[in-house]
């Protein structure tokens, strides 16, 4: 157990870029629709503060989502997330573009996901994280599975993990 925790801290300490899926990670995965058919999303304040703390520590943050939503664009702007990729049909391709743009190695990247489209990126990151409510295949591929579910503190839990490793 101690060896596994030491390996997790080592991986977390290397992170320079943290990438997050949206639906099921930054939200609980529910889709609500307004009276005009617009998709509504609910974001967790604790998760948002965790993202801000990562940025304050010099860790780049990014959103990589298969869906597109004005709510995500607005929330990312509020949190100062400069790298927002929405409507991604191949997350692996977008991951490579982002890494090249920022000049970071795979081992310096973390990805927090919940479903099968996230696996190709998770399998290449130095720190792959699944939220508690992720599908089993994603959990099996993760270096760490959060106790909190997506949209309910999982991102904050991840942020605290990375920041604690850097300060140790």
CA angle 138, 23, 86 (to 5 degrees): 105
Structural domain including 124 reads: 2-167
Q: What is the pTM of this model?
A: 0.95
Binding residues for Mg(2+), by number, are: 21, 114
What pLDDT score does 53 carry? 97
Please count the other Cβ atoms lying within 10 Å of the Cβ belonging to residue 86: 17
Determine the Cα–Cα distance for residues 51 and 14; give it in Å rounded to an integer.
Answer: 17
Report helix, strand or coil for 83: strand
Where is the binding site, in residues? 21, 23, 114
Q: Residues at the annotated binding site for substrate?
A: 23
CATH number, domain with residue 39 = 3.40.50.1000
pLDDT of residue 120: 97
pLDDT of residue 136: 98
- 77 or 2, which is more confident? 77
Residue 70 burial (C-beta neighbours within 10 Å; 0-12, 13-18, 19+): exposed
Question: From CA 63, how far away is CA 65, in angstroms rounded?
Answer: 6
The domain tally of the chain equals 1
How is residue 165 written in tokens? 């490793």
The pLDDT, as a whole number, for residue 1 is 67
pLDDT score for 24:
97
- Looking from the CA of 129 toward its CB, the CA atoms found within 13 Å total 31
pLDDT in tens, 12-64: 999 999 999 999 999 999 988 989 888 889 999 999 999 999 999 999 999 99
Percent pLDDT > 90 in the chain is 90
């Amino acid at each position: 157990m101690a060896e596994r925790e030491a390996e997790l801290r080592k991986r977390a300490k290397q992170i320079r870029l943290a990438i997050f899926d949206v639906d099921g990670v930054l939200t609980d995965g529910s889709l609500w629709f307004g009276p005009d058919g617009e998709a509504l999303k609910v974001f967790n304040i604790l998760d948002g503060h965790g993202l801000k703390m990562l940025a304050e520590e010099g860790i780049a943050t990014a959103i990589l989502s298969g869906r597109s939503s004005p709510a995500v664009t607005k929330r990312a702007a509020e949190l100062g997330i400069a790298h927002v990729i929405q409507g991604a049909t191949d997350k692996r391709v977008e991951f490579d573009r982002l890494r090249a743009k920022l000049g970071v190695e795979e081992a310096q990247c973390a990805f927090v996901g919940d479903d099968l489209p996230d696996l190709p990126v998770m399998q290449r990151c130095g720190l792959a994280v699944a939220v508690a409510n992720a599908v089993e295949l994603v959990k099996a591929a993760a270096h760490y599975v959060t106790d909190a579910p997506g949209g309910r503190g999982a991102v904050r839990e991840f942020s605290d993990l990375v920041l604690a490793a850097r300060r140790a």
